[in-house]
Amino acid sequence: MSAASTVSPIKDFRGTSPAAEALRSAAGVAPAVGRHKADGEGSLQVHQDASMKIEGAKVFAVYGKGGIGKSTTSSNLSAAMSKLGKRVLQIGCDPKHDSTFTLTKKLMPTVIDVLASVDFHSEELQPEDYVYEGYNGVMCVEAGGPPAGTGCGGYVVGQTVKLLKEHHLLEDTDVVIFDVLGDVVCGGFAAPLQHADRALVVAANDFDSIFAMNRIIQAIQSKAKNYDVRIGGVIANRSAGTDQIDRFNEQTGMKTVAHFPDLDVIRRSRLKKSTLFEMEHSPELEKVQNEYLRLAAALYAGTDPIDAHSMQDRDIFDLLGFD
């Protein structure tokens, strides 16, 4: 077999060679030269329908390594926003559908489960079928995810936003917070970035979560080419110090916007199915509550976009750690 015959047709499709242009022409795609590259081209992503844009509310998407405390952070940030008098909607984007249980005190049915119960005839649903009021009036939705090994998370997010728009639930909302699963930023679960104004990364002061943060920055940079989303910063979580995060920030231009230490009261709040604003008072807890209130106020007032860049994997490996 010749070298030419082993070239990947997908790789060729993305290129500028005559063969690539022929493939694009056959597929009905515009020539590569002199055109703006559409979001998701060369992948399984699709460009967002303009009618699905969330108008009026300030939208934040929270990402980070799996198990790093994104849901705890998102829920307490939602609670803090509500304490400031804002009308808040939190959307959990994880098949585990446990993003909002500290707000609602229960595991809610997912949008996909509810849609499946009516054979995906969304006109048969009412808001109370999938939207639940949580702590201090925070409205909670669990988008869920497709069955394991099938489907796409982007479809789930899209159907959730579509339902919320059909029922006019976004019109009276000041803040929308997407809590997105894990550190695998595939095209599907990067979908909340198409709606967000700012993307926040939750990271601990360790190699694994910083490594994941680097890839998330790549995803945000990619979406920022076609959407309004910009990097909002890193929230240092479950960490006494931030020296490793500081190293990464210095190299990439990333910025720490809040720091939450590894306190037992935070762990206990999850076990009690409560936000930090419902826990018994202590001086250390008050400091954490005030940090959430400060972060919420800063985000709502508007923060400048952070012009951070990602690093090569090998460079992160060499940068972090102790000599």
CATH superfamily of 50-319: P-loop containing nucleotide triphosphate hydrolases (3.40.50.300)
Mean model confidence pLDDT for the chain: 85
Q: Rounded to an integer, what distance in angstroms lies between the CA atom of residue 239 and that of residue 204?
A: 6
Q: What is the pLDDT of residues 144-171, one digit of tens each?
A: 877 676 667 677 888 888 899 888 888 8
pLDDT of residue 154: 72
Annotated catalytic residue: which of 39, 94, 179, 183? 183
Q: Active site includes 96?
A: yes
Q: What is the pLDDT of residues 51-110, one digit of tens each?
A: 667 888 999 999 999 889 999 999 999 999 999 999 999 999 888 889 999 999 999 999
pLDDT of residue 3: 45
Q: Active site includes 37?
A: no
Annotated catalytic residue: which of 96, 105, 255, 272? 96
Q: Active site includes 272?
A: no
Could you tell me which residues come within 8 angstroms of residue 91 by beta carbon, excluding any fewer than 6 positions away?
99, 141, 142, 143, 157, 160, 176, 177, 178, 179, 192
Contact 82, 135 (CB under 8 A): yes
Strand partners, 62: 179, 200
| 137-141, 169-173, 256-260: the lowest-pLDDT one | 169-173
Annotated catalytic residue: which of 58, 70, 83, 86? 70
Q: Active site includes 255?
A: no
Residue ranges, comma separated, of all CATH 3.40.50.300 domains in the chain are 50-319
Q: What is the pLDDT of residues 177-235, one digit of tens each?
A: 999 986 655 666 688 888 999 999 999 999 999 999 999 999 999 899 999 999 999 99
